Amino acid sequence: MTTRTYNLAVVGYGGMGSYHVDHLLKSNPQIHVKGIFDIKQERNDVALSKVLQVYECLDALLSDKSIHIVLIATPNDVHKEIAIKALKAHKHVVCEKPVTIYARDLEEIMTVAEETGQVFMVHQNRRWDEDFLTVKKIYNEKMTGEIFHIESRVHGANGIPGDWRHLKKNGGGMVLDWGVHLLDQLLFMIHSPVTSVYANLSYVLGDEVDDGFQTYLTFANGITALVEVGTTNFISLPRWYLKGTEGTAIIEDWGLNGKIVKQNKDIIASAPKPIKAGQGLTKTMAPPSEEATTMVNLPAASVLSQDFYDNLVSVIEGRTEAIVKNHEVLRVLKLMEIIFESAEKNEVVKTSL
Ligand code: NAD
């Protein structure tokens, strides 16, 4: 069987656009990167130095009939306009996250994708992160019993990066930048509606957009989740903390340092010895007796069936369904809108998302 190849062009050849070209697309033999369009001359110069074709405008790129796939890696506010134009020019489209700033804009894109019959896929690449896939394995295989509480955090100390991420009009801020990843991971893993949301946003750096946030989610199946992004944390809390009916798991970082501590269900353990704690005495907060728990290493992460671009090609060829489905991405955008609403009102928002 001969395999078809597809020419891809990048719109927005900045940090992430070039990461796709230099790393993510390198391992896919079916996709050939042909050229780019960027509004900055310096980025065009970089592209030329890498023997990529540089288009003088978006229309020139879209009217090149040899281009089959367009990758959009511009600031967030222009994703929608470029996506709709590219779909109407009969290109398949990959779009960086957050796909759009508002849910209604993704709905418009989805309508055009349906009308044109072109594939539209959002690069929610953190579904493939090993730390997340380890959590997914612990969750699915009930390695700490039924998980009832999840904490998912990313902490940095470098403030909001770059230029456009500081601005509302470009879709800046940390809910849209990192929140979209952490929320997407949770909704991809927990198959239950979100029933309530409380959130507060942080503005300690004085930007017009949030430099971090915390949100507390409740799912219909009873699971609660705390999702937190910080850019002013000079000491980081662990990436993941999971509480289950039979144990606790912690994943410290992307290097997968962590452990699971399991309760020894079948052993009648002796009562914990009271400890002196501060100016008092406690048995409640004392470590469990030695025979009460066992420490185990984190399991090997589960794997998704294909990587992002292999999946894209299979979807274009009608062989599989998308791993990142547009209706799932839409749900995350709707959840982010509720997060903004809750923070603005300083209230819990009930939902059935
Ligand atoms: P960046 O500023 O480094 O690059 C954006 C590029 O787009 C710049 O070169 C800019 O000149 C160009 N540009 C701006 N407006 C344009 C237009 N109308 N047409 C063509 N080019 C235009 O930003 P970045 O960090 O690469 O982010 C780009 C996108 O990638 C954002 O949506 C961001 O959220 C996403 N991103 C995703 C990940 C991920 O892990 N999935 C990581 C980083 C960024």
Q: Name the token pair of 114.
A: 């349906």
10 Å CB burial of residue 270 (0-12, 13-18, 19+) is exposed
- Indicate if ligand 1 lies below 6 Å from the C-beta of 161: no
Is pLDDT at 7 greater than 90 in this prediction? yes
Q: Name the token pair of 217.
A: 């989610």
Protein fold of 127-256+298-304+334-350: Dihydrodipicolinate Reductase; domain 2 (3.30.360)
Compute the Cα dihedral for 87, 178, 331, 132 and give only its sign. Answer: positive
Is residue 325 within 8 Å of residue 122, measured between CB atoms?
no
Domains in the chain: boundaries: 6-123, 127-256+298-304+334-350
pLDDT, tens digit, 9 for 90 and up, residues 15-37: 999 999 999 999 899 999 999 99
Is residue 312 within 8 Å of residue 276, measured between CB atoms?
no
Distance in angstroms between the alpha carbons of the first and the last residue of the chain: 44
Residue among 21, 24, 38 to mutate when testing ligand 1 (max atoms within 8 A of CB): 38
- Indicate if ligand 1 lies below 6 Å from the C-beta of 97: yes
**What pLDDT, on a 0 to 100 scale, did the predictor assign at position 147?**
98
Higher pLDDT, 72 or 289: 72
Protein fold of 6-123: Rossmann fold (3.40.50)
Is pLDDT at 162 greater than 80 in this prediction? yes
Measured in angstroms, how far is the CA atom of residue 18 from the centroid of ligand 1? 9
Task: Ligand 1, residue 43: give the atom nearest the CA.
Answer: 9
- Indicate if ligand 1 lies below 6 Å from the C-beta of 80: no
Is pLDDT at 1 greater than 70 in this prediction? no
Q: What average pLDDT does this structure show over 332-353?
A: 98
**What pLDDT, on a 0 to 100 scale, did the predictor assign at position 269?**
85
What whole-number distance in Å separates Cα of residue 148 and Cα of residue 18?
40
Nearest-CA residue for ligand 1 atom 43 is 16
Nearest-CA residue for ligand 1 atom 44 is 16
- Indicate if ligand 1 lies below 6 Å from the C-beta of 123: yes
Measured in angstroms, how far is the CA atom of residue 167 from the centroid of ligand 1? 14
In the chain, the amino acid numbered 14 is G
pLDDT band for position 176 (50/70/90)? very high
Measured in angstroms, how far is the CA atom of residue 54 from the centroid of ligand 1? 17
**What pLDDT, on a 0 to 100 scale, did the predictor assign at position 3?**
86
Q: Name the token pair of 242.
A: 């999971």
**What pLDDT, on a 0 to 100 scale, did the predictor assign at position 266?**
87
Task: Ligand 1, residue 164: give the atom nearest the CA.
Answer: 2
User: Which run of H or E residues covers position 247?
Assistant: strand 247-251
What is the residue-averaged pLDDT of the chain?
97
Measured in angstroms, how far is the CA atom of residue 344 from the centroid of ligand 1? 28
Task: Ligand 1, residue 17: give the atom nearest the CA.
Answer: 26
pLDDT, tens digit, 9 for 90 and up, residues 43-66: 999 999 999 999 999 999 999 999
Nearest-CA residue for ligand 1 atom 38 is 16
Nearest-CA residue for ligand 1 atom 18 is 78
Q: What average pLDDT does this structure show over 323-343?
A: 98
Is residue 198 within 8 Å of residue 214, measured between CB atoms?
no
Measured in angstroms, how far is the CA atom of residue 133 from the centroid of ligand 1? 26
pLDDT band for position 226 (50/70/90)? very high
Nearest-CA residue for ligand 1 atom 31 is 75
Is pLDDT at 348 greater than 90 in this prediction? yes
- Give the global pTM: 0.97
Measured in angstroms, how far is the CA atom of residue 326 from the centroid of ligand 1? 20
Q: What average pLDDT does this structure show over 114-130?
A: 98
Helices (H), the chain: 15-19, 41-49, 58-62, 79-88, 103-116, 130-140, 174, 180-189, 308-316, 326-345
Nearest-CA residue for ligand 1 atom 9 is 14
pLDDT, tens digit, 9 for 90 and up, residues 71-109: 999 999 999 999 999 999 999 999 999 999 999 999 999
Task: Quote the percentage of the chain above a pLDDT of 70.
Answer: 99
Is pLDDT at 344 greater than 70 in this prediction? yes
